[in-house]
Amino acid sequence: MKYLGIPIVELAGKGAVNTAKEISQQPELWLSVLNELDEKRKEIKDFIDMAYGQVNKIILTGAGTSAFIGLSLKGVFFRRSGIATEAIATTDLVSHPMDYLKHDDKILLISFARSGNSPESIAVVNLADNICESCFHLIITCDAQGILAEYNGKNKNYIFVLPSETNDQSLAMTSSYSSMLLSALIIAELNDFENVKDHVVQISEYGEYILNNYTADLKSVSLIDFKRAVFLGSGPLLGTVIESQLKLQELTDGKIICKADTYLGFRHGPKAVVDNTTLVVFLFSNEEYVNKYEKDLLKNMTNGHRAIYQIGISESKKIDSNFDLKIAMPTKNRHVPEEFLSVCFILPAQILAFFKSLNEGLQPDNPSKSGAISRVVQGVKIYPFITKEKKF
């Protein structure tokens, strides 16, 4: 048995079995997530339709990696529901609840959680229930035994527990991230479920293609002596690039300093980070309008310092720039909506981060030598929230 081309015995000796397996299993897991949601489609749709009919705001939330999921989804939830939608991390909501919640709010709070035991995630569902006039909870989690999986709010709630294989045992989230992202994306698109099934099958094929055709290339890239990495993507791909930069930084125990930005935002100062020790990874939209802005930045990249290495990731093989590595999908003249690319385009960063972790002499399953980070955050104290009217 091999994962990412490495025998399981060798992976075991490197403290890398779980991470390698959890990265490799994702395309198959995405089909399992689709099947689970298909079985529960009617009850989920009934809940969503009921909530949409009563709320004036949707908030997508989570802690750490789980927070980035909402950045990829806020556009599609807004477009499909017509309801104002925000992606707000639980770590922001806990410290400044009244900056985001009002007493007369009627909200749908969509919570993402691998374990469901992060202190901030637990605190936020309670804060929302107590501050807002009404709060409907859609909880998407990978752990049936977690605290959020058993949450019972004041109003109606729906808890979707993903297949147990999504509950990563490694420190870094991989399967859990992409599977929670996909599950909410499918839920947002429930009214177009027949087409969604085709899209999920296609991104599963894309995922397998990346694993089978680019793992060796990404392993080679990991041997390059880069000290910094920048990931660029816009719209639904912004969440993916933010998660990409965290994955590389986490799995190298902070030895590689990473940044993520949009194509338009990058030129407003952050581009100064690029030097001859910087890896730059471009995630491309498949929307022609968005491509215009992406291409403008590519032209601008010739001004200033040249990066040590550049990777372009696109659905189409027509990447018209001189990248050191081009990662393109086998579309067969089929294309998925832009937001579905946010799911499968996380794979290259995960694979690269895995091999860079090994190259740095770390154990990918637990790369934090100092214990600075852990699988479930430790030591966070939740304080009572007190207003003039009430204590929560």
In a domain, residue 7? The reply is: no
Residue with tokens 């397996």: 21
Mean residue pLDDT across the chain? 92
Q: Would you give the DSSP letter of residue 81?
A: H
Residues 132 and 107 in one domain: yes
In a domain, residue 17? The reply is: no
Q: What does the pLDDT look like over 194-216, one tens digit per residue?
A: 999 999 999 999 999 999 999 99
Residues 235 and 88 in one domain: no
Structure tokens given for 20? 């390698």
Residues 57 and 106 in one domain: yes
Q: Are strands 309-314 and 257-261 parallel, antiparallel or unpaired?
A: unpaired
CA distance 268 to 365: 36
Residues 217 and 253 in one domain: yes
pLDDT of 322 reads 80
Average pLDDT of span 179-185? 98
In a domain, residue 98? The reply is: yes
- Structurally, the chain folds into a number of domains equal to 2
Residue 358 has pLDDT above 70, yes or no: yes
Average pLDDT of span 334-361? 96
pLDDT of 391 reads 57
Residues 203 and 310 in one domain: yes
CB atoms within 10 A of CB 334: 12
Domain encompassing residue 271? 196-359
Of 171, 188, 205, which residue sits at a domain end?
Answer: 188
Residues 266 and 285 in one domain: yes
Residues 258-288 as b or e (16 or more Cβ within 10 Å = b) = bbbbbbeebeeeebebbeebbbbbbbbbbee
Residues 203 and 234 in one domain: yes
Q: What does the pLDDT look like over 365-382, one tens digit per residue?
A: 999 776 655 556 666 787
In a domain, residue 366? The reply is: no
In a domain, residue 148? The reply is: yes
What's the count of helices (H) and strands (E) in the chain, helices before strands? Answer: 14, 12
User: Considering only CA atoms, which of 50, 165, 52, 176 is closest in space to residue 116?
Assistant: 176
Of 188, 204, 219, which residue sits at a domain end?
Answer: 188
CATH number reported for the structural domain that contains residue 60 in this entry: 3.40.50.10490
Where residue 384 falls among pLDDT bands split at 50, 70, 90?
A: confident
Residue 241 has pLDDT above 90, yes or no: yes
Residue 5 Ramachandran class (φ > 0 left, ψ -120 to 50 alpha, else beta)? left
Residues 238 and 97 in one domain: no
First to last CA, the chain: 52
pLDDT of 261 reads 96
Residues 82 and 205 in one domain: no
In a domain, residue 45? The reply is: yes
Residue 266 has pLDDT above 70, yes or no: yes
Question: Order of strands, edge to edge, in the sheet holding 57-61?
Answer: 85-87, 57-61, 106-113, 134-141, 157-161
CA distance 372 to 380: 13
Q: What does the pLDDT look like over 101-147, one tens digit per residue?
A: 999 999 999 999 999 888 899 999 999 999 999 999 999 999 999 99
Residues 80 and 172 in one domain: yes
